[in-house]
Structure formats: structure tokens, C-alpha cells
Structure 1
Amino acid sequence: DVPAKFGFDGPTLTKRFPRLIYADLGAFGHLGPWKDRPGYEPIIQAVAGLISLNGDPSGPEARIGVSIIDLSTGMWTAIGVLAALAKRTATGQGSLVNTSLFESGLMWTSNHVAGWSVTGKMPPRQGTGHPSLTPYQAFECSDGPLMICPGNDRLWRKFAEVLGHPEWPDEARFKTNVQRAERREMLLGMISEIMKKESRAYWSAKLDALGVPNGPLNSVPQVMELAQVAALAMFSQPYAGSNALFHGLPLSIDGERAGAAEKAPKIGEHDGKI
């Protein structure tokens, strides 16, 4: 433990400076037999069970393509520091904020943990689908997949209408989500046979007209062509002579994008300000 060896660990510094807020971010947590064990994003995804939940059921398990553990742990750390600042404002007392990659991983698997603890079973991997909602996934159209999420019985009725089968929601076998889930393979097969006959644009227009949430499975280049992305102005090219796009923060304050115009400082640029 290098910080403790040199005396700049959290317990030492918060004791010496009672108003100090000290954030300690580790791999596996500040307690337990693995508290000093090193870890990185792929390891945490594996050990915390996320990889076991991801991937098409017909293929191998897959790592989540985004570094969700790294990103979310940074967010939890920032939230913890903000909470500690509020506490200090009220009490004058600082805090030691502990976060870890592993704890973030456990948080992401919490819904699956809850289900397993009640049923003793783990649902199979769903690909684009949902373990308990049916239908709630991507369907292959004539020109590619379209994600469709009729997340309640009201939206299911509208989806069935779009499919040309307004009678389905009144049939006992498909009336409630529980009944639909019991006949998942049958129902998904019936929907797939209909969806594949027309394009994504065709189905999306019909679904939009009735308010059924849907969207195409886009590649990153396709995402960057969306009018909605341009309207949000989240990406910019801050460096002259470079086409590299950098993102602002995914929040706006009083209508202004946070961090949108920021540039990484040059070496030594801020030495006089620190």
C-alpha cells in the first residue's frame, strides 16, 4: 500500500485535516481479501459477472464494448465527493469517499442478482432482448434490424395493430406479459415473419404514428449522420488542422453544453495558475 507507506492515504490525511474530502478509487474495494488486488475494466467485467450476461445466446459470452465500469466508477466517485461537500457544508466535517471498479460492477448486475436470489435461476442471454419483457428486442427487417420496445400492455396493443393483428392482445395466450413470456419463442417467430417483409423505414413510420418506441441499430458513422446528434451539438473539433471529434459533457446548464469548448492544456500551460 504505497499511499499508506508514505503517509498520504485517506485515513491519515483526513485525520490530519478534518475538513479534507479524500476520494479513494480502487479495483476491488477498500475491504476484504482482494482490497489490494489489481484490476482493469475487462477483468472486472469478467469477475463481476457482466460478461456472462452479454452476447447472443447462440454464440459465446461477450465483453461489453463500452468501458462502462471505468466510466461509471468515475461518476460514482464524483457523486460521492459532491455528497461529501454537502455534508461538509452542513457539519464542517470532511469525509473519506471509497469507490471501486468491482462495486460498480456489482451494481450493474444487481437486477440479475435480485432475480436469481428469488428464483434460484439465471435467464439465458437475450442478445438484444429482455429477460422478462416480451416482445422487447430488435427484429430483422428487409434492410436490417429495428429495435422495438412495447414495454407495457397498452403499447403491445398498438404494436399488434401495426403488425396487422389487432386481435392478438385479446387472445388469452398473448394478453399479458406473463402469458407472452411463456410463449416467447412462438410469438417472436410470428412477429419476425411479418417484420422481415418490409424495410426499417416502413415499420418505423407506422410505429411512430402510434407512439411505439423504436429505433434502428446504427453503426457509429450512422449515428454521426443523425440530425438529432447535430442538434445537440455534443461533438466538436477544437483543434485546428485536425478532424478529430471530441465530446462535451452529456448535460447542459441553462441551455449551455458543459465542457463543449474545453481543450486539453499543453504541457506547462497552467503551471502559473496551480
Structure 2
Amino acid sequence: MTPTQYAYLAQFLKERSGIAIGEDKRYLVEARLGPLARRLGLAAVADLVGRVSAGDLESQRLVIEAMTTNETFFFRDGGPFAAFTDVMLPELLVRRATERRIRIWSAACSSGQEAYSLAMLLEDCAPRLAGWTVEIVATDLSSEVVERARAGLFSQFEVQRGLPIRQLLKHFTQEGDRWRISAALRARVQFRTLNLLRDFSALGRFDIVFCRNVLIYFEEATKSDILARIARQMAPDGYLVLGAAESLVGTGAPFGPHAQHRLLNVPAPRSTAAIAAAI
């Protein structure tokens, strides 16, 4: 791949997906796109980039999906889910007692483990939620992983990563060497393909937004823009949950820390449109 082709690819990925790749990411590009090029019967990544630059829509889609990181697992990092059960949900049950409705967004949901983890926790709280409407909307850029998430079918390796055996036996049925999550939990989650760079106002307003481990791939200006638009989609007393390696420093995002929970670790903002947690 020539320097000109690499520069084109970097600009293409930035404009279409927000992913920023520098010269130091050539190894990653080759590792992600090499297998795709071979699968398409092409001799080299350069030929694949040629298709992308020529406007081949399928090649463009496949390249974006190949370059998107879809690392995830059930109850990842633990802290966000403990905060959901111990802090966010109890507080919202008090504050939303009149409307009895809570909306949750799992942005960058990948193959669905985060959204299904939340659904399992809601199922555990079913007696407290009787008469309530609790929606989970889960979105991702990759249509391929969204379809996988919607199917709710996971490998043995995937269910062994973070999923307590109690939850596995309660909510999953074995199908050959894979495990299918229950129809009831699949029905709890609305999966959609969505690019965070595009307008997402049609999703409506949310009380809780999990946007974890995706902002780290964006440049500062893109990250600031996404956070500002997320803020506009949130209730004034809502919760934004970030990844442990993510920070609001320098973004100007209108979020403040939750004073009651030791795991919420975000610098104080100029305004407090919502509460943010880096867990």
C-alpha cells in the first residue's frame, strides 16, 4: 500500500466512522484488512483500498466493519453494572415514580453482551419494576455485529467471559456448541445499526447512556461533538457511563460527577446537564 493509498484510507475511515489511524497503525490495517482482501480474492490490501476509492459500496462497508473494534464481554469491568444496580436504578425508581418509565441506551453495543447484561440485571429486579416500562436501545456501527447481537447466539468462549454460571443456566439454552439467550431477554433489547457520527436525535431521550470504550478511538473534536449530542439526548438528571480509560477532560461536555459513588471519577464540569461516570 502506497503512502497515498494509506492517507486516503485514513481520511476515509475518519470521515465515515470517526476512527483515527496514524502512521503507527499500519500493522493494524494490514492485520485487519489482509484477511478481508484474501476473502474477496484480492492479492493485497492495496487492491482493496483501490476498490474503496473507486466507490464500491460493499467494499467500503466491509472495510469499516473490519476496522471497527468489537471487543466486549458480559458484565465487562464489573463496576458499571454494580453502579447500575446499586445507584442508578434505585435513584431513578424514586425520581421516575410518576411516569414509571426508564430508557437506557447502550451505544457501541458490539455483539450485544453489554445490553444483555443490563437486561439480566433488570430481570433480577423484576419485582421492583412491576408496572414499569424499561427500554434498552442498543446500537452499533457494524450491521454484521448488530445482527449477531439480535440473534443472541454466543460461543462457549463468549459465555465464559464474565457471565456468572447462575445467569448462564437461568437465561441461556445450549444449541450444539453455542448458547442462545432467552427470547424474553432478546425482546427486552431493541438493536439498531447507527453511526455515532450521524444524527441520532430520532432515538429519543434517555435516562442512562452506556458509551464505553469507543470514544478512545476518536480525535478530540469528534469526541467533543459526540458527547455534546449525547447530552442533548439525556434527561437533566440522567447518567452517562464511560469506559475506565476514557475522560471528559478537554471536551467541554456538560456532565458532572456523581457525588455518592466512589467509582464515579470524572472532573467537575462548568455545568451539570447530567451525571457522568468513568468506571
| TM over 0.5, shorter chain | no
**What's the TM-score once normalised by structure 2's chain length?**
0.27
Q: Which has the larger radius of gyration?
A: 1
- Greater relative CO, 1 or 2 (CA 8 Å, sep 6+): 2
